[in-house]
A and B are shown apart, each in its own frame.
Chain A
Amino acid sequence: MTLAEISEILDALSIVSPEETDDVPFHSVCSADLMSDVLYYHAPNSLLITGLTQPHVIRTAEIAGIKAIVFVLNKKPDARTIELAQQKKIPLFSTPYCTYTASGKLYEAGLRSLRDA
């Protein structure tokens, strides 16, 4: 599934636009607010759904190989987070849905978790 399709399913607003990753298909998703869970169950080229918006979420994503992040409940990251995401070329989105609903919508559309993919 492409980022454009994910964005449409989640009615998401783009905060940091994708560059080269635009056409890279996503096969798995991780929904977590605990960064060690992201690192423990890591899988490269995944999407992260989270409620955390601090800069270290971007660093965690970079280390774990996460390729894009969706913030839930219309959350918007601060300028430092956005700047770091631009540097690391990690696209950011914000969805009005909560973690449960956002995850459910993508599951319904065929995306699975890091562990089951």
Chain B
Amino acid sequence: MLDLLSGFVVELRNAGLPVSLTENLDAMEAVKHIPIEDRDAFKYALAATLVKNEQHWKAFETVFEVYFSLRGPEYNVLDEEGEIDEDSLEEWMSQQMRGMGGQGSAEDMSPEEIAEMLFRALMNADEAMMAAMARAAVTQFAGMEPGRPVGGTYYLYRTLRNLDLDGMLDRLMEQAQERSEGDMTSLQERLEREEFENRIEDLKREIEAEIRRRLVADRGVEAMAKTLRKPLPEDVDFMHASREEMANIRKAIQPLTRKLAARLARKRKHKRKGPLDFRATVRQSLSYGGVPAEPRFKNPRPNKPELVVVADISGSVAAFARFTLHLVYALQNQFSKVRSFVFIDGLDEVTHMFQNEEDITNAVHRVNTEADVVWVDGHSDYGHAFGVFWENYGSEINSKSTVMFLGDARNNYHATNAWVVKETAKKARSVFWLNPEPKSYWDTGDSVITEYATHADGVFECRNLRQLEGFVDHLA
């Protein structure tokens, strides 16, 4: 047990989770009190001691499934030698079948039969049945062969393609319509659909888990854990984030912008003294017989930070641009005054598009369609865009503004106009540059980041949430 647990912890660390020694000891203590047979409780006990960040839950769960999937009473598909025990699986299957009508074992079932039974299981939300059907479907459709070097996603795709779950959803809805004899209100219909979608999601998860279980049995725990290893949400590269990862990142941006706002506004809370208040000092000196023993200072003016964001949204940083727009939108909610500009080779202000828009997707869409950012050919031209920026808006930068440039500084060999950044830095409180490219690529090819960087207060590599957070921390 202890071996298993330490292997588990090592894998968690490999997956990037920060597990300290004390936490490890806590986990060992915890499992003494909770029997491994109570799988869920066991899982939560480990999670409570080892995972201290909700974002890491998913990574934890995956590793847990791999390590403990074959242990526990209902998952006894392994026999002593560690090979899949087909007999016991079959037996278990047919038991399940008999329970609901007495067809033969999974091998004999035709795809139609599986679909039909699955349909019934989904309709009645019969969980045991759904699990059984997930197993049957994997056996039937995934075509898994031991030792074949393909990933779990391939099998998952094959299984799902054969099951045609979209068609299943439509059928379920029809059935539900019939059952209520056609007098369903649109609200009820919507709720019903969501319920079915939910059940189908459960089914997908079940199938995925089943495939994983079999793969683990085939390839062994360590190998499997390695293939399933995914970067943690804070390490996902903005440039290569999948849609799902992007959604996660978006969720994580909110608290970060709050933090950023707090950091920039913080100075007003610290009791940093303003200039000497002569009158108050004289008044105070009266109590010391006219000796100005205790100097008085003016309270500093509260500092309302203004943020100016200038973001590159050209094709080369498209994925990053999507993220920056989300960031800008989130910032807009936090700061009283944010002005946002986007550019490719022309530059346009987009503040108003974010301001009155509740829905971020609408706002992003508007920016992409309405903003006038193309000047000649729609290839990045930082020099020209900055020129426009200085000419039209430069006069509005003042000592309260913090200016953030977001972009990779790949300028297609145009003139850099770095003096704009220099002049901006002179007038603004601070100027930062966030670059989505890895540091090793900077100044290679047409990247001219250093020319701009020399004038900015700081240039930060910003490829994932962790780095963005580092930037925010740096501001303190």
Does A pair with B? no
Q: Which positions in B face A, CB cutoff 8 Å?
A: none
Q: Which positions in A face B, CB cutoff 8 Å?
A: none
